[in-house]
C-alpha cells in the first residue's frame, strides 16, 4: 500500500513517514500544496494524508482539484483546524476522514486501516491463484493448507501479481505500487525480493508461478 503525506511541518511529516514505513506502507512526502497535488495527480496512491494550511495551495483546494480530475484516492485530512465548519468543509469537499492535530499515532494508524479496509471491501478481500490464497484484510497467505510467512514488501508484491494475473508487470509498475520515490531505480532490490518471494511460494521440482519476461518484467501464471 502506498501513501502520500502532504504536510509542511517537516518534523511531523518525517515522523509520520517513519511510523507508517515501520508498519509496512510505502510513504512519499510533499511539503507544499503544489508539489502534493502534482504527486497526487501523477502517481497512484492508496491513501493521501492531507494538511489544510499549506504553502502555495491549501488542502481544501487540493482535494477539490483531485476530485474534479476524477481521482478517487481516499483522503484523510490532518489539520489543526478543529472547528465544526472546517470538518464539514473538508468532508463535503471530497475528504473521507478528518483528524485534528495534535493526535495520537495509534488513532492515525487505526483510521488509515479503516479507510484502506473500505477500499478493499469495495472489491474483494480474498485473492486466489491456483492453490495460493491471499487475504488483503488479515495479511494472511496460504498455499493449500500451509501458511506462508511473508514480509510486508513480499506481501505487497504478491498481492499486486495476483490482482493482475497473466499480465506483464514491469519494474516501474512494482516501484510505483510498493515503493516510494526514494527507491534507487538502478538497484537490484526488486529482483532480490522477487527471488525471495519465489523461494517461499514455489514448490521444489515444479514450475514456478512468477515468470521473468526478458526485457519487459515479470508475469504471474495462473495454474
pTM: 0.73
Q: What is the DSSP string of 57-70?
A: S-HHHHHHHHHHTT
Give mean pLDDT, residues 190-199: 91
Q: What's the confidence (pLDDT) of residue 65? A: 96
What confidence tier does 100 reach under pLDDT thresholds 50, 70, 90?
Answer: very high
pLDDT confidence tier of residue 137, bands split at 50, 70 and 90: confident
Mean pLDDT of the chain: 89
pLDDT tens column, 73-97: 999 999 999 999 999 999 999 999 9
Strand order in the sheet with 2-6: 26-30, 2-6, 47-50, 74-79, 97-100
d(CA 80, CA 92): 18
CB 6 within 8 A of CB 48: yes
Instruction: Write down all domains in the chain, each with its CATH number in brackets.
Output: 2-121 (3.40.50.2300), 126-220 (1.10.10.10)
Amino acid at each position: 500500500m502506498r501513501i502520500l503525506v502532504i504536510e509542511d511541518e517537516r518534523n511531523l511529516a518525517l515522523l509520520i513517514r517513519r511510523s507508517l514505513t515501520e508498519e509496512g506502507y510505502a510513504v512519499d512526502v510533499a511539503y507544499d500544496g503544489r508539489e502534493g497535488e502534482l504527486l497526487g495527480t501523477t502517481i497512484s496512491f492508496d491513501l493521501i494524508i492531507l494538511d489544510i494550511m499549506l504553502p502555495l495551495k491549501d488542502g481544501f483546494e487540493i482535494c477539490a482539484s483531485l476530485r474534479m480530475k476524477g481521482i478517487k484516492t481516499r483522503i484523510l485530512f490532518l489539520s489543526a483546524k478543529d472547528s465544526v465548519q472546517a470538518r464539514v468543509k473538508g468532508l463535503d469537499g471530497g475528504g473521507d476522514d478528518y483528524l485534528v492535530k495534535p493526535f495520537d499515532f495509534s488513532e492515525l494508524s487505526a483510521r488509515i486501516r479503516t479507510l484502506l479496509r473500505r477500499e478493499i471491501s469495495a472489491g474483494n478481500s480474498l485473492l486466489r491463484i491456483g492453490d495460493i490464497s491471499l487475504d488483503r484484510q488479515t495479511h494472511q497467505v496460504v498455499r493449500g493448507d500451509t501458511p506462508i510467512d511473508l514480509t510486508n514488501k513480499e506481501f505487497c508484491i504478491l498481492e499486486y501479481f495476483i490482482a493482475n494475473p497473466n499480465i506483464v508487470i514491469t519494474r516501474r509498475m512494482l516501484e510505483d505500487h510498493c515503493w516510494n520515490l526514494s527507491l534507487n531505480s538502478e538497484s537490484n532490490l526488486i529482483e532480490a525480493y522477487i527471488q525471495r518471494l519465489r523461494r517461499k511460494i514455489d514448490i521444489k521440482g515444479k514450475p514456478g508461478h512468477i515468470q521473468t519476461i526478458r526485457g519487459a518484467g515479470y508475469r504471474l501464471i495462473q495454474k
